[in-house]
Structure 1
């Protein structure tokens, strides 16, 4: 295990789905743990202290919603996303009332799960992967994640919410290549509607026009061919 990565515990009795999600999340920079049932869920929490749990409702030894409720009663505040094959309103309500942070019906696109993982973590106060209190300086620029403000020579620069999310994702993962899928999830802003790969490319171009001396030969936001983009301070 890599202690520098966010740990996601996937609890599902379907070994093929567990492995598919593990492979996908690992490719996008997470350290993924696996468990087949509620009993293993509690033992892995105690041993590995995951940062987020993806929990199926239909487990061999009980209802995932009950497991979620039990964790909350024990004072455990790890973010939880419930998965279920029953995508009815009443099941969503049951899951959320049990203490889940989000709910996703099967079948689903792994990209949607990734987006929900990123959103839940970003919402969680103090999630170190997404909130850095100290401003980050590069060249004549200072980016303050807490204030969600980019400035140049102390002059504020206006960015959209999605652009701030995108810059924050890049800065907080300095030196690491980020795929478009992960940037899509990190930069998603409910006020700006749906995003796609092209929207990420356009947002990157806009940021480059703001912070690069020559957007065609970027110094700070570099293209990693076949992967995505990387912030290089």
Structure 2
């Protein structure tokens, strides 16, 4: 997954403060005063009325942020046919993709050639910074009782969580639902597969030999080699 620790460790310090006064006589009459913050002591200094142009800039900035938050995960049109669940409060999306041919990339150490191969139908569960991935036994739209199989890829854990390393997914606070889904699919298939997580074996048999046999072969993915998880769609909701 993308390392966001630095964003929390970079630190912030106050530079401005706003103080709102309300009239004792009129409950709807307000006065806004601005303060600079003395960097060494952190104390407010230089009290002055907030200029009208600064107030306008502040208002626009707040409205822009609110608009971006309102746009986040909103569909551009009708809901996508492959959408299974959408929770705008938690920012979590659940969708599926049918079996298809995809370009796949592997680290040289795996001795698997990069190229194109057929992958099975997949179920994706994602937030802005985390992805879980599972496989399906057929292309039909899953329901809550549909059993899930482990995604037959490197970089995946038994929980379904995908290790994305330092890959930039490219989701913003105003990304639409379609952009969100597209960004995750692109980031996953454009990343390099490199390792097995926690000794998790996602397929029956040797996964290296499996992908060596599938790359640029045109053969459908052998569903019989998928291994079952203990989860169903209902447990992802």
| Larger Rg, first or second structure (1 or 2) | 2
Q: TM-score range by the shorter chain?
A: under 0.3
Give the alignment's TM-score, normalised by structure 2.
0.23
- Specify which structure has the bigger relative contact order, considering alpha-carbon pairs within 8 angstroms and separated by 6 or more residues: 2
Whose strand fraction is larger, Structure 1's or Structure 2's?
A: 2
Give the alignment's TM-score, normalised by structure 1.
0.24
